[in-house]
């Protein structure tokens, strides 16, 4: 991922320095296991542990000649260790190191993402509780439906990010496997106990069955959790963008001191951060398809997945970390305009009371079809000519034949829509 959209902590996980450090940790752990099993002399193990090191530039220099990154790494390490290096990588294949290290990197990145989600959940919870009883218009198809509250909107996203957190945790658990089982996974040249010892030391579980590689359904699962989380961020950013439109302006993303919205129009305050969230989320979601394609490999392995993973896994996790941090900033500094929300609610002359009126007429004896036709006729008059659904109802003999003036007045009260909001929050676990 380009520097513009990268934060240092998670970007460092995908650095060559960190990758080679993990490779070296695995190789040394395997040497320790082999020494424990009597395969490697203790004096050679001592030399390996004392001298083993690497230099990124030197590895790249060797790789330019041998065109194999693991061989280049091992050659570089051998230059530090000397003759005892013959025991490094004993009985292993490249993917034993690469895949086990990749699991650790994905686990490290996942933990950062979990922490980001936790921070975002706290912000959403605060907004939900603060605006629990702040009325705003609910919409379906983009058209006014019935009132809800702004806090209720935030509860929706709070719960969706709870699910994102669970998906991410499950994905970390799914990828936290290592393998040191040799060229096709049959332990032909390595004691199976080495895998058990090394994985335990690294905090991983031995993959129950592998070929030369850990199977890529695990990686696809991980990427799906990342992509779905990005999808929720896009959804939330789109909600804010819609509510920031000039005709609506119920909320507005932060506009910082000194910020300029347009090179041509000084008045502009554009939702650029939310648009960035939506844009980068598309990159992450598209990368999921690559991860799904990576599942299909020839026989015990090919490396068609390898080049793609070098792009999609770092880019997607770094981008998601960046987007989560941006959304935290947006929500912590979000401008919220309750007065504008009320003006929006009042904009259609009470059309949103139509269902309440319909149900009351049904209670009073009309069939549903009869009541629907009466209410719709009055509603269409308001749509076409303005006015108030309540006033038209008070002057419609078909309605007043069934409902008194006081009963009609009672129907047209905003609180009728919000009296169960406390229950909604309780049901969602927020009180």
DSSP string, 20-63: HHHHHHHHHHHHHHHHHTTSS-HHHHHHHHHH----HHHHHHHH
Lowest mean pLDDT: which of 47-61, 71-85, 252-266, 389-403? 252-266
Which carries the bigger pLDDT value, residue 254 or residue 234? 234
Reported as a single tens digit per residue, the pLDDT across 113-135 is 999 999 999 999 999 999 999 99
Reported as a single tens digit per residue, the pLDDT across 202-216 is 999 999 999 999 999
Across residues 293-304, what is the average pLDDT? 94
Ranges for all domains in the chain classified under CATH 1.20.200.10: 93-252+265-341
Active site residue 141: yes
Q: Tell me which fold the domain 351-411 belongs to.
A: Ribonucleotide Reductase Protein R1; domain 1 (1.10.40)
Measured CA to CA, the distance from residue 239 to residue 250 in angstroms comes to 11
Ramachandran class of 301: left when φ > 0, alpha when ψ lies in -120 to 50, beta otherwise: left
For domain 1-90, the CATH class is mainly alpha
Which of 270, 292, 250, 3 is closest to 138 using CA atoms? 250
Is residue 418 pLDDT above 70, yes or no?
Answer: yes
* pLDDT at position 291: 97
Per DSSP, 83 falls in state: G
For the beta carbon of residue 268, count every other beta carbon within 10 angstroms.
Answer: 12
DSSP 3-state of 183: coil
Which is the catalytic residue, given 141, 267, 299, 405? Answer: 141
Which of 190, 191, 185 is closest to 211 using CA atoms? 185
Across residues 366-374, what is the average pLDDT? 97
User: Burial of 94 by CB count in 10 Å (0-12 exposed, 13-18 middle, 19+ buried)?
Assistant: buried
Ranges for all domains in the chain classified under CATH 1.10.40.30: 351-411
Measured CA to CA, the distance from residue 368 to residue 361 in angstroms comes to 8
Extract the tokens encoding 167. 């998906």
CATH among 3.40.50.1110, 3.40.50.2000, 3.90.580.10, 1.20.200.10 for 93-252+265-341: 1.20.200.10
* pLDDT at position 14: 98
Kindly state the percentage of the chain with pLDDT values over 70: 99
Ranges for all domains in the chain classified under CATH 1.10.275.10: 1-90
Mean pLDDT of the chain: 96
Which is the catalytic residue, given 68, 262, 304, 335? Answer: 262
Alpha helices in 176-303 (DSSP H): 192-202, 217-244, 272-293
* pLDDT at position 257: 76
Q: Check: CB of residue 20 under 8 Å from CB of residue 54.
A: yes
Reported as a single tens digit per residue, the pLDDT across 73-96 is 999 999 999 999 999 999 999 999
Q: Is the overall model pTM greater than 0.85, yes or no? A: yes
Q: Check: CB of residue 338 under 8 Å from CB of residue 134.
A: yes
Confidence band (pLDDT; 50, 70, 90) for 262?
Answer: low
Per DSSP, 348 falls in state: G
How would you label 16-55 residue by residue, b for 16+ Cβ within 10 Å and e otherwise? eebbbebbbbbbbbbbbbbbeeebbeeebbebbeeebebe
Q: Check: CB of residue 115 under 8 Å from CB of residue 101.
A: no
Cα distances from 205 to residues 2, 111, 180, 200, 211, in angstroms, run 33, 17, 11, 7, 16
Across residues 164-181, what is the average pLDDT? 98
Kindly state the percentage of the chain with pLDDT values over 90: 95
* pLDDT at position 42: 97
Q: Check: CB of residue 113 under 8 Å from CB of residue 382.
A: no
């Amino acid at each position: 991922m380009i520097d513009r959209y990268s934060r240092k902590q998670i970007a460092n996980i995908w650095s060559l320095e960190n990758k080679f450090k993990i490779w070296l940790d695995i190789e040394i752990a395997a040497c320790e296991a082999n020494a424990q099993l009597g395969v490697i002399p203790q004096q050679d193990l001592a030399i390996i542990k004392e001298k083993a090191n690497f230099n990124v530039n030197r590895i790249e220099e060797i790789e330019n000649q041998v065109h194999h990154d693991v061989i280049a790494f091992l050659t570089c390490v051998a230059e530090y260790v000397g003759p005892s290096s013959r025991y490094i990588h004993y009985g292993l294949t490249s993917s034993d190191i690469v895949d086990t290290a990749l699991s650790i990197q994905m686990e490290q990145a996942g933990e950062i993402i979990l922490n980001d989600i936790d921070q975002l959940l706290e912000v959403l919870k605060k907004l939900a509780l603060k605006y629990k009883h702040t009325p705003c218009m609910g919409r379906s198809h983009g058209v006014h439906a019935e009132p809800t509250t702004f806090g209720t909107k935030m509860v929706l996203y709070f719960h969706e990010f709870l699910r994102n957190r669970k998906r991410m945790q499950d994905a970390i658990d799914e990828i936290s496997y290592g393998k040191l089982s040799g060229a096709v996974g049959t332990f032909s040249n390595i004691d199976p106990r080495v895998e058990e010892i090394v994985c335990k030391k690294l905090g991983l579980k031995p993959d129950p069955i592998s070929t030369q590689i850990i199977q890529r359904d695990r990686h696809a699962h991980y990427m799906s959790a990342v992509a779905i989380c990005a999808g929720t961020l896009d959804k939330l950013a789109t909600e804010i963008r819609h509510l920031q439109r000039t005709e609506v302006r119920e909320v507005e993303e932060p506009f910082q001191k000194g910020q300029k919205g347009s090179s041509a129009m000084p008045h502009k305050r554009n939702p650029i951060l939310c648009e960035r969230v939506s844009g980068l989320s598309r990159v992450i979601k598209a990368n999921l398809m690559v991860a799904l394609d990576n599942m299909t490999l020839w026989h015990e392995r090919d490396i068609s997945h390898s080049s793609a993973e070098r792009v999609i896994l770092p880019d997607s996790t770094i981008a998601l970390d960046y987007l989560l941090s941006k959304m935290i900033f947006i929500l912590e500094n979000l401008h919220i305009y309750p007065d504008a929300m009320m003006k929006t609610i009042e904009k259609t002359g009470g059309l949103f009371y139509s269902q309440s009126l319909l149900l009351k007429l049904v209670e009073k004896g009309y069939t549903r079809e009869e009541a629907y036709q009466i209410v719709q006729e009055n509603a269409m008059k308001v749509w076409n000519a303005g006015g108030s659904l309540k006033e038209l109802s008070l002057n419609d003999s078909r309605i007043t034949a069934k409902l008194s003036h006081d009963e009609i007045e009672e129907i047209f009260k905003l609180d009728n829509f919000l009296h169960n909001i406390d229950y909604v929050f309780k049901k969602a676990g927020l009180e």
